[in-house]
Structure formats: C-alpha cells, structure tokens
Amino acid sequence: MNYKKLLIILFLFIYGCQVYDTDKQKNVLINKKNFINRGFAIVYNDDLYNQKIISKKIDSRRLIIFQKNLKKGTKVRVKNILNNKTIIANVGVNAKYPIFNNSVLSNRISNKIDLDLNNPYIEIVEILEKSLFIAKKAKTFEEEKQVANKAPIDEISVNNLNDNSKKIKKIEKVNNNKFNYIIKVADFYFEDTAILMIKRIETETLIKKAQVKKLSNTQYRVFVGPFDNINSLQKVFNDINILQFENIEIIKK
C-alpha cells in the first residue's frame, strides 16, 4: 500500500466522525470558511415543547433559531430555498430537537420567508463578522418582498396582440417543487478517501447505496439518494446519523 493510501486510512479512523474543516483535515476535506447547511427546518410551537420534542422555548416574536452546530449569538442568513426569500437571524441557546431537522425556527422567521410547512426546506449560512454580506445587509426583506412571488406559478396567460380575435395563449410552466432530494454526507479532496467513506457507511450502517459524484478534480461528494418521499429520506438520514457526522446536508436535485 502506498504512502498516500496509508494516510487516508489513518485519517478515516481518527477523524471519521468529524466533517468540520480543521488544520489537520485541510488536505482531505473541502475547506469552507463559514458554516452552511441545507435541510428541513421545524417551526417552534408550545405543543412541541410540551411533548418534549424540542427542549427549549422560542419567543415567537423574535428572530431566533436553534442550530446545534453553531454557538449562541451567531448571526445567520436563513433562506427559504423554494422561493429565495431570506432573513437575518441569531442562534439561540443550545437545545435538543429531532436529528432529521437542521434547525428550529421561530414563527416570525417562518412567516417572514413564507415557509411552506409541508416542505420547510431552508439553507442556513453563518455570517462572518467581516463578510461582505454584513456590509450589504441594508437591503431589507421588504425590498425583496416587492419583487418575489408568494407562491409558484403553474400557469400564466399572455395576450397575443397580433391576433384580432384576442385569443388567450396559455403557457405552461413546470412546477419545480417536486420532492427530489439527496443526502450529502461530505465532500472530499481525494476520490480514494470518498470510496473508503462509502465502505465505512456500508459496514457500520444498513445503508448499501451510497455513491460518489465527481464535482471537480479536487472535490468528490459522498451522497445517498435520490429520494422521492420524505419518509424514506428521513429513515436513511436517521440511519446515517449513527456515524455522528456534524454537518450532513439535504440537497434538492
């Protein structure tokens, strides 16, 4: 076995449960400066707290989220991926919530981004103190709201001005909200590392269909899916959490 492969195997045994980027991992995992996660949120209500599904309360009037990977007080951009509406929020206290969900949102946040509770697919991006996003945050949600549609358009009508009969021509528009997601486990620098990760997944879990996708010459993604319904997605997501990865993402295809 050559020296490179030996280092890769040692890395998997020592750091296999970590997906955050550190100095020791920078030669293997894709280096990212800020935390990004896409997945399904859960919107807080008192019933969830009383049933002990969520361990802490959120004031419905505040721009607060629970996110297990980020420290209290961290500023984040919360984006409704299905309509591109965004808002700035703060991470609240550390709280327990279902592992399938990537965060807990207050009612205010949910309302501001017009979140579909049947498909609450969001992206969370950590805002670094000196980032350009902070410098440009003067653009308010209300300005975005004026140019964004509240719901997807399935059909639009256009007048044919060259037709004296003024018939209405209907143009069909494809609805892009079809349920079609994958579970991203991690991105790796070496293809060999990605393949070894798949072997680990197949050995330590019940999942047998993990795959590798080459994104570039230095980026190989390990993922599972696609899934066309939330029940199968949630089952596999919960199964893969046995490996205790820190930042598993759900990505819409």
Span 122-146, pLDDT tens digits = 999 999 866 544 444 434 444 444 4
Radius of gyration of the chain (CA): 21
What's the rounded mean pLDDT across residues 79-87?
A: 95
- Return the higher-pLDDT residue of 172 and 63: 63
In the predicted structure, residue 210 carries a pLDDT above the cut 60 = yes
Domains and CATH numbers, the chain: 1-31+178-253 (3.30.70.1070), 34-149 (2.40.40.10)
In the predicted structure, residue 190 carries a pLDDT above the cut 80 = yes
In the predicted structure, residue 178 carries a pLDDT above the cut 50 = yes
Stretch among 5-9, 43-47, 158-162 having the lowest mean pLDDT: 158-162
Regarding beta strands 181-188 and 210-216, do their DSSP bridges make them parallel or antiparallel, or are they unpaired?
unpaired
d(CA 96, CA 66) in angstroms, rounded, equals 9
pLDDT score of 112: 96
Query: Cα separations (Å) of 200 from 21, 67, 149, 229?
Result: 20, 27, 44, 26
In the predicted structure, residue 91 carries a pLDDT above the cut 60 = yes
Cβ contact 238:212 at 8 Å: no
Query: Cα separations (Å) of 8 from 27, 70, 190, 203, 219?
Result: 10, 28, 9, 17, 15
Q: Average per-residue pLDDT in the chain? A: 78
